[in-house]
A and B are shown apart, each in its own frame.
Chain A
């Protein structure tokens, strides 16, 4: 009985580790995902350069993993760090691939060499993000993890503070404020750039819907699955939207509104534009805004 539970635990923990890595990847990778110059490098990079890029990424991530990493150990054996680096590259590559497909930069018509180039270059920031996952928002540490391997979490102290019980309205306002702040930090850099209208013209119909769903899934994963520092606190939060699903939905709407304000601020949408233009611009900029918003809620 005990063994079965331990086995289940082990898979749950592994799943959480992977989701935490992917969340870190999205937080770090999104700004470069919305940078056309990175797609272009991918379009013309030669194969030896791609191999070199992969090797350099491995080296950087290996060095990061000696001290950080997306798993829970602090000081680890070089062999562990090397294996974790391979896993980080794989997670980063999957996240980058999904994102590139979502924003229609890799389609069925893309030649394989170009798709590889885009994938390898875009996977670099995602991979670094995976390796930095624990440093971004801290990890909860041992209290929720069964320790199958040695783990020493340095960031526990963060989760202890701020346990004051807030009134419902205050908690809700804090949620909205955190979401707005995070959305601003990530999406403000992207809002004035030409990538937004470029992507709007490339992402059509059902793909917009897919981007919307992806925004919700990534936001949910960052806040409620990844096990960053404040996750327990989030589940105890007593705002109006206390259920994880409704909080995710509400914060998505807040992020969309933030994206809209930024687009108006930078004159990317005009009042006489048709509503379809507004909607597609908001959803495209809403993806980075939601990811920032999720991080923002964890940070408050």
Chain B
């Protein structure tokens, strides 16, 4: 590990690395290699299928100060990311829509779950409550 200076700027040489630098390089290669192989692994196992989005109610409906909170979650079980996912909730009584709400989820990646809640003023238990996905676009 002696100096091999005096190589002038015109002709750089491959320098002898210290042990510490080799250790760093080793760890760095492992990290970069791991990221690259994860990306490649994901690429190979990727399902080239359109998004399949489902919405379902999670917890029980809460009532507070005359408002009814309806917690739900949306899951993308398909293969690709969906953008601007529109979640629509409708409360029907005797065949007519009494109250509705909608919410937009920015991005829903493959396998991702997002949670939210609709807030209605009428009791959803006294009618027919439906939650559905209205629309999405591909990014």
Interface set of A (CB-CB < 8 Å, partner B): 6-7, 10-11, 13-14, 18, 40, 43-44, 46-48, 50-51, 54, 73-77, 79-80, 83, 86-87, 89-91, 93-94, 109-114, 116, 119-120, 147-150, 152
User: How far apart sit A43 and B38, CA to CA, in the bound complex (Å)?
Assistant: 16
In the complex, are the beta carbons of A76 and B35 less than 8 A apart? Answer: no
A48 near B43 with CB under 8 A, answer yes
Q: Which residue of the partner chain A has the closest CB to B39?
A: A50
Interface stretch, picked from B3-11, B52-60, B86-94, B125-133, is B3-11
Assess the A83–B25 pair: CB atoms within 8 A.
yes
Q: Is the CB of A44 within 8 A of B83?
A: yes
CB of B20 within 8 A of CB of A116, answer no
Q: Is the CB of A111 within 8 A of B111?
A: yes
Q: How far is the CB of B137 from chain A (nearest CB, A)?
A: 11
CB neighbours of A147 from chain B (8 A): 3, 5
Beta-carbon contact of B109 and A89 below 8 Å = no
Per-position 1/0 for B44-79, Cβ under 8 A of A? 001000000000000000000000000000000000
10 A-B interface contacts by CB (under 8 A): A40-B139, A43-B109, A46-B46, A47-B46, A80-B14, A83-B25, A109-B113, A114-B112, A147-B3, A150-B5
> Are the C-beta atoms of A120 and B28 separated by less than 8 Å?
no
Q: How far is the CA of A6 from the CA of B8 in the complex (A)?
A: 26
A116 touches B5 (CB 8 A): no
B20 near A10 with CB under 8 A, answer yes
Binding site for A on B (CB under 8 A): 1, 3-7, 9, 12-21, 23-25, 27-29, 31-32, 35-36, 38-40, 42-43, 46, 81, 83, 106-107, 109-113, 139
Q: Are A40 and B42 in contact (CB under 8 A)?
A: no
Contact B81 A43 (CB under 8 A): yes
Q: Chain A residues with Cβ under 8 A from B81's Cβ?
A: 43-44, 114
Given contacts A40-B106, A109-B113, A120-B39, contact A148 B12 (CB under 8 A): no
Contact A73 B39 (CB under 8 A): no
Chain A residue nearest to B108 (CB atoms) is: A43
Closest chain A residue, CB of each to CB of B139: A44
Question: Is the beta-carbon distance between B35 and A93 smaller than 8 angstroms?
Answer: yes
Q: Are the C-beta atoms of A113 and B42 separated by less than 8 Å?
A: yes
Instruction: Output the least CB separation between A66 and chain B (Å).
Output: 9
Residue among B23, B39, B113 making CB contact with A116, cutoff 8 Å: B39
Contact of A150 with B15 in the complex, beta carbons under 8 Å? yes
- A41's nearest neighbour on chain B, judged by CB, is B139
* Docked pose: A86 CA to B31 CA in angstroms: 9
Measured between beta carbons, the chain A residues less than 8 angstroms from B21 are: 14
Query: Would B20 and A13 count as touching, CB distance under 8 A?
Result: yes
Given the known interface contacts A44-B139, A87-B28, A120-B39, the answer about A150 and B4 at a Cβ–Cβ threshold of 8 Å is: yes
Determine if A113 and B110 form an interchain contact, defined as CB atoms under 8 angstroms apart. Answer: yes
13 more A-B contacts (CB under 8 A) besides A90-B27, A111-B109? A10-B20, A54-B36, A79-B14, A83-B17, A86-B25, A86-B28, A93-B32, A93-B35, A120-B39, A147-B3, A148-B1, A149-B17, A150-B6
Q: Smallest CB–CB gap between B78 and chain A, Å?
A: 12
Contacts of B39 in A (CB 8 A): 47, 50-51, 54, 116, 120
The 6 A-B pairs with the shortest beta carbon distances in the complex, nearest first, are: A47-B43, A90-B28, A14-B20, A44-B139, A44-B81, A114-B109
Given known A-B contacts A86-B29, A112-B42, A75 and B106 have beta carbons under 8 A apart: no
| CB nearest neighbor in A for B18 | A10
Cα of A152 to Cα of B27 in the assembled complex, Å: 27
Residues in chain B near residue A152, CB distance under 8 A: 9
Closest chain B residue, CB of each to CB of A111: B111
Q: Is the CB of A94 within 8 A of B20?
A: no
Give the Cβ gap from B117 to chain A, nearest Cβ, in Å: 15
User: Which residue of the partner chain B has the closest CB to A12?
Assistant: B20
A44 near B107 with CB under 8 A, answer yes
Distance between Cα atoms of A43 and B66 in the complex (Å): 38
Given A14-B24, A147-B3, CB of A113 within 8 Å of CB of B109: yes
